[in-house]
Amino acid sequence: MSFISASLPIIKKNLSQYFILAFLFSMLIQIWPAVFTQPLRFVIRIAICNALLLLSAAAIYRYLLGKIASVLLTAALTLNFAISFCTWRIYQSEFSSVFAMSILTTHMSEISSMSGLFTYYFPIIALYFTITMLAIHYLAGNTSTTVKHGGACLLVVFFAWYTSANWLKQRKDLEVYYPLSSRILTNTPFYVASEFIIAVRDNKLAEHIYKHDTQYPAVSVSDTGIENFVVIVGESARRSNMQLYGFGLDTTPVESAFSNNALVFEHAIAPASATVLAVPMILSKADADHFTVNDLADNVIRVANKAGFHTEWISAQGNSGKSNNYVVAIASLSQKAQWVDTSYDEELLPELDKALTVAGRKLIVLHINGSHEMACIRYPASADYYHTDDKYEDCYNNAIRYTDHVIGEVTKRLGNSTSALLYFSDHGLEKNPQLESHYMHGSRNPSKEAYDVPQFIWYSPAALASKPRRLGKVEERYSTANNYELILSLMGISTGIPHCKSPLEPCYQPETSFSVMDGGRHIFEYDDLRSNFSSPDVNSHYRKADKDSL
């Protein structure tokens, strides 16, 4: 015992000489997963903030409360490292709000069954906690007061800088999806917490929309002679790249062939240039000026449920995250909603087959990936049709043609029943000659091509035989924000309020003004926008959304 007692001071002194190594080792372990999943600038910010946090902890370590705070800080850093490290090692991915939402909704039985995936990494996680505590302990005893206090002051400056910078950015771009707390934490070693904040926000939003009880004067259903109503929500499809609308390449052979059995909208205009805004406005009462929980809650899924239809949502897109939160809130109202892990949109068809076996009238929504960037990964090798010297132009046109193939497969499944299919794209894309991949979502100063989309209603032969249908073309300009009324009109559903924005109704009157929104929530008049991305900049005037909008 005396030998051990005599040896401890010597061991402690020798270890204290390596406090710099403990400090650096702790830093390296913390940024380890970020190096493989994040940009260099992100890794540098994390490393700087991590160093300042350890120095600040060392500055107060000599006090009891300082030691307690140091343990709590180390525990928080360890938790962030553990989650990001395990996500990277197991899933080869960065941690995202999708993972955060999964964790928040995981039951204890699922945790127990999955624990084996993570126990292998417990020694590394424990090592990080131990080394970080040693680093703080030895920094406290071997670093000058000036350095420690300087680190604490710089930490205050670091947080003040990123808080003010993100606050100003949030005000400038009107971006409300990322809460300020989430924006700030993204720049720190607690970046995992940022994704949990977003996941909690998405869950609350979906819950509010789900629980909101929209009242209608009177819901009734007339006999349309149609049993299956299928809506395909397309993605990033430019009308100008489709043969159906006069494009020089045969990108839509299927759609062009059945156009005589369809009502084709010649000049459809999307209400927004981003999915997260466009799709909810297309399927609900929300519009560019009024994007509220009440408006989103009044949507075609909820009305169809009240009218006695079986409703299903089958999606190839994610069920969380910035691009999907409002969409998922509406989709979750379906009697059956599923997000299928797919490589290509055609993989949704088996689920469609199952949905079509349900008896009675039904509304089935297919949300596809379409031609979203990067278009080269949106179709299988068998659909690699175009081969020119322009790779990315070929990729985009191949993706459009593959979507046409998927639409054809859907119509084959509907051909022997009384069915109607509505297809539209959520938004268009701008063509930027300076961009290697050519196509991009609408910019802060968008052009009309960011909103010019395809839309048509196709009827099966049996549906055409059952009752007269409006076929041909809708020549005038039409906002897909009116699809809420169009879909209800198509399904024969009345809410007690006239649906005069639907071209299928006798009271229909074409609109002359079209409000559209960009990704930063600036609202423009469509007529004020330049024709395309390469047109001269016209500095279009914009306004802000209603103060009550989300």
Averaged over 317-339, what is the pLDDT? 78
| Distance from C-alpha of 194 to C-alpha of 276, rounded to nearest angstrom | 19
Judge if the upstream peptide bond of residue 374 is cis by omega within 30 degrees of 0. yes
Q: 33-76: per-residue pLDDT in tens?
A: 888 878 888 889 989 999 999 999 999 999 999 999 999 999 99
pLDDT at 317: 85
Q: 387-446: per-residue pLDDT in tens?
A: 998 999 999 999 999 999 999 999 999 999 999 999 999 999 998 887 777 888 886 778
Question: Tell me, what amino acid is at 35?
Answer: V
pLDDT band with cut points at 50, 70 and 90 for residue 453: very high
For the chain, domain boundaries = 11-205, 228-488
Q: 460-472: per-residue pLDDT in tens?
A: 999 999 999 999 9
* DSSP result, 377-438: GSS-GGG----SS-HHHHHHHHHHHHHHHHHHHHHHHHTTSSEEEEEEES---EE-TTSTT-
**150 within 8 A of 54, measured Cβ to Cβ:** no
User: Of residues 545 and 380, which shows the higher confidence score?
Assistant: 380
Q: 225-248: per-residue pLDDT in tens?
A: 999 999 999 999 999 999 999 999
Q: 265-281: per-residue pLDDT in tens?
A: 999 999 998 888 899 99
Instruction: Kindly report the average pLDDT of the chain as a whole number.
Output: 87
491 phi, psi to nearest 5 deg: -85, -5
| Distance from C-alpha of 478 to C-alpha of 469, rounded to nearest angstrom | 19
| Distance from C-alpha of 277 to C-alpha of 329, rounded to nearest angstrom | 12
pLDDT at 324 over 80: no
Question: Regarding the domain with residue range 228-488, which homologous superfamily does it belong to in the CATH classification?
Answer: Alkaline Phosphatase, subunit A (3.40.720.10)
pLDDT at 368: 96
Q: How many CA atoms lie within 13 A of 131 on its CB side?
A: 19
As beta bridge partners, residue 363 has 229, 311
pLDDT at 534: 87
pLDDT at 407: 98
| Distance from C-alpha of 550 to C-alpha of 177, rounded to nearest angstrom | 8
